A and B are shown apart, each in its own frame.
Chain A
Amino acid sequence: MRVLTCFLPPSAGKASIAGFDVLEHPMEVKKRIGYLPETPPVYPEMEVIEYLTFVGQLKGISSADIKRKADEVIGRCSLGDVRAKLIGKLSKGYRQRVGIAQAIIHNPDVLILDEPTSGLDPKQIIEIRELLRQLAGDHTIILSTHILSEVEHSCERVIIISQGKLVAQDSVANLTNRLRGSEAVSLEVGSADGRPDPTEVQVRLEQVNGVSRVMMKESKDGRLIFEVESLQGRQIRADLARSVVNAGWNLNELHAAGLSLEDIFLQLTTAESKSEGGQK
């Protein structure tokens, strides 16, 4: 990430943004990126508007445009209330938003965000995600995060990097499918008159076409929860339902138990790892 922003040189390989190599044309690359590091790079002794004006000029906005641009990002990041406050006196959420405002002020092609929601409360996280979704229309956003649910919510492409090596790069849905291969279904069976016999149910489920494995997860209060896995590429949910109902049991619940991104992540990486997600 820091290599892409020209802050660090690559130790191996090549990196380029919008066709410009980070080593050969760092100035061109820097003009085209907006970067929010883990801690927002703000000067506590400056006012919000003063800071945004400074950064805007630093990024090469002419002094004629700067006032308009600063007002524009203040609007986009809803910073109007704190416009003339010292950044040092702002809350973490506001400071984070000032950081994002700083990154988008010069309307860069690529926006690089390092853990944009870390240390924020849930309301602020939702606000920031909403803001990112609005921005996604005009910018390519690269965001790095350890919070996988965030990736599921907001990213179109996921890149998982483990110890400097790329281990996966795909969309969330494809990644899930590819790793899962077979379908996993969780179903809950009950009956009106007392509890059905677990072994009987299990045998019956195993007889359904395309089932590779049946596991009983839980049994309590006359309800049995099974997890069923299919053979590669088979759709078994309809057959399972029919088979349960035909036997006279109640089918209380049946849903696909997809692999979560957490499971994928664990499968792909070992102990020490970091994930990156991308959104377009």
Chain B
Amino acid sequence: MRNTLLICKKELKSYFASPIAYAVMALFGLIFGFGFFTATRDFVRFSFQAQMMGQQQPMNVNDQIIRPLLGFASTIALFLVPMISMRLLAEEKRTGTIELLMTSPIRDIEIILGKWLGAVILYLCVLGMSMLNVAMLFAWGKPDLKPVLVAYLGLILQGATLLAIGTFISTTTRNQIVAGGVTFFVCLLLWLLSWFTAFDSGPFSQVVNYLSIVTHFENLSKGVLSTKDVVFYFSMIFFSLFITSRAMESLRWRS
């Protein structure tokens, strides 16, 4: 545990000592801010129109701003995750510092957990950028808090899962660009899987649908907290980190 935190702290230091952390946070803040601006402007325009036409039904901030916005955030995260995870082990392998870690009295799984945790914490910082905008909605509107929290939980779980997959891919190569590129395509694929099943409901497409990261996020983003989805994310994280530790082990036998 102490070792895991040690590695995690070191990872965070490395992120914040290099431009990666700031670049990722700035990019996310910019794009999310743009999405927020558009969504809010349209919302305000529509609510004026609705009032002028004499509709009494109040419009819902949760449904019309926050939900699409956080869905948008999950799409952006898809692009940011490879940038965060690509260097985790690939860089250690390239510079040879992996030898230091692997010859220290520390278990492989502690190295992996520490690195993954560091990446997740950076990802949380990135998500934190979006809270500025969402907080504004709470200051001037009256959205429900609980569904927002569930949606954020969904974002965090989705990010943690993709980062775990990214960690695994980073273990398999010493080239950061390759690690980043492959991670991006794997994330994209997991995302696109839901398209495949849009108009189909056979047993095969149900399996495919289950594997899609997005289907599970959609439930959470509606504020539906079901064990099914949470278990999916946790099992994906566990599985990815497990094969990462296997991959680390195989490094010893192959090199």
Q: Which residues of A contact B (CB under 8 A)?
A: 5-9, 27, 30-31, 33, 35, 37-39, 41-46, 50, 54-55, 57-60, 102
Digitize B153-175: 1 where CB-to-A-CB distance is under 8 Å, 0 elsewhere.
Answer: 00000000000000000000000
> Given that A39-B96, A41-B95, A54-B6 are known contacts, is A7 also in contact with B18, CB under 8 Å in the complex?
no
Sample of 9 further A-B pairs with CB below 8 A, known A6-B103, A30-B103, A38-B96: A6-B102, A37-B96, A41-B98, A41-B100, A55-B100, A57-B2, A58-B3, A58-B104, A102-B100
Contact check, A33 vs B106: say whether CB atoms are below 8 A apart. no
User: When chains A and B are docked, how far (Å) is the Cα of A235 from the Cα of B101?
Assistant: 55
Tell me the nearest residue of chain B to A39, going by C-beta: B96
**A27 cross-chain contacts in B, Cβ below 8 A:** 105, 107
Digitize B8-50: 1 where CB-to-A-CB distance is under 8 Å, 0 elsewhere.
Answer: 0010011001100000000000000000000000000000000
Q: How many cross-chain pairs have Cβ atoms below 8 Å apart between A and B?
A: 66
Contact check, B99 vs A37: say whether CB atoms are below 8 A apart. yes
- Which of B14, B96, B106 is within 8 Å of A41, CB to CB? B96
Contact check, B14 vs A31: say whether CB atoms are below 8 A apart. no
- Which of B18, B105, B107 is within 8 Å of A45, CB to CB? B18
**A45 cross-chain contacts in B, Cβ below 8 A:** 13-14, 17-18
> What is the size, in residues, of chain B's interface with A at 8 Å between Cβ atoms?
24
**B253 at the binding interface (Cβ < 8 Å):** yes
Looking at B96, B102, B104, B106, the one whose CB has the most chain A CB atoms below 10 A away is B104
> Given that A27-B105, A45-B14, A45-B18 are known contacts, is A58 also in contact with B6, CB under 8 Å in the complex?
yes
Contact check, A8 vs B252: say whether CB atoms are below 8 A apart. yes
> Given that A57-B6, A59-B105 are known contacts, is A9 also in contact with B253, CB under 8 Å in the complex?
yes
**B105 cross-chain contacts in A, Cβ below 8 A:** 27, 30-31, 59-60
- Which of A38, A42, A50, A58 is within 8 Å of B101, CB to CB? A58
Looking at A35, A42, A57, the one whose CB has the most chain B CB atoms below 10 A away is A57
**B96 cross-chain contacts in A, Cβ below 8 A:** 37-39, 41
User: When chains A and B are docked, how far (Å) is the Cα of A8 from the Cα of B99?
Assistant: 10
**B255 at the binding interface (Cβ < 8 Å):** yes
Tell me the nearest residue of chain A to B102, going by C-beta: A7
Tell me the nearest residue of chain B to A62, going by C-beta: B2
- The A-contacting residues of B in range 214-255, CB under 8 angstroms, are 252-253, 255
**B97 at the binding interface (Cβ < 8 Å):** yes
User: When chains A and B are docked, how far (Å) is the Cα of A6 from the Cα of B102?
Assistant: 8
**B103 cross-chain contacts in A, Cβ below 8 A:** 5-7, 30, 33, 35
CB distance from B103 to the nearest CB of A (A): 4
Looking at A7, A55, A102, the one whose CB has the most chain B CB atoms below 10 A away is A7
A sample of 8 inter-chain contacts (CB < 8 A) reads A7-B102, A7-B252, A33-B103, A45-B17, A50-B13, A55-B100, A58-B104, A59-B104
Looking at B98, B101, B102, B255, the one whose CB has the most chain A CB atoms below 10 A away is B102
Tell me the nearest residue of chain A to B18, going by C-beta: A45
User: When chains A and B are docked, how far (Å) is the Cα of A139 from the Cα of B3?
Assistant: 26
**A58 cross-chain contacts in B, Cβ below 8 A:** 3, 6, 100-101, 104, 106
CB distance from B252 to the nearest CB of A (A): 6
Contact check, B255 vs A30: say whether CB atoms are below 8 A apart. no
Contact check, B252 vs A9: say whether CB atoms are below 8 A apart. yes
Contact check, A7 vs B99: say whether CB atoms are below 8 A apart. yes
User: When chains A and B are docked, how far (Å) is the Cα of A102 from the Cα of B100?
Assistant: 9
**A50 cross-chain contacts in B, Cβ below 8 A:** 13
Tell me the nearest residue of chain B to A31, going by C-beta: B105
**A31 cross-chain contacts in B, Cβ below 8 A:** 105
User: When chains A and B are docked, how far (Å) is the Cα of A44 from the Cα of B107?
Assistant: 24
Contact check, B97 vs A42: say whether CB atoms are below 8 A apart. yes
Contact check, B99 vs A41: say whether CB atoms are below 8 A apart. yes
CB distance from A48 to the nearest CB of B (A): 14
**B14 cross-chain contacts in A, Cβ below 8 A:** 43, 45-46
User: When chains A and B are docked, how far (Å) is the Cα of A55 from the Cα of B13?
Assistant: 14
Tell me the nearest residue of chain A to B15, going by C-beta: A45
User: When chains A and B are docked, how far (Å) is the Cα of A6 from the Cα of B249?
Assistant: 12
- Which of B17, B95, B104, B255 is within 8 Å of A8, CB to CB? B255
Contact check, B99 vs A46: say whether CB atoms are below 8 A apart. no
Tell me the nearest residue of chain A to B104, going by C-beta: A58
CB distance from B255 to the nearest CB of A (A): 7
Looking at A6, A27, A43, the one whose CB has the most chain B CB atoms below 10 A away is A43
**A60 cross-chain contacts in B, Cβ below 8 A:** 105
Tell me the nearest residue of chain A to B254, going by C-beta: A8
- The A-contacting residues of B in range 79-134, CB under 8 angstroms, are 95-107
Tell me the nearest residue of chain B to A42, going by C-beta: B97
User: When chains A and B are docked, how far (Å) is the Cα of A7 from the Cα of B253?
Assistant: 9
Looking at B6, B99, B100, B105, the one whose CB has the most chain A CB atoms below 10 A away is B100
User: When chains A and B are docked, how far (Å) is the Cα of A116 from the Cα of B2?
Assistant: 31
Shortest beta-carbon contacts, A-B, top 10: A41-B100, A30-B105, A45-B17, A41-B97, A5-B103, A31-B105, A58-B104, A37-B99, A35-B103, A39-B96
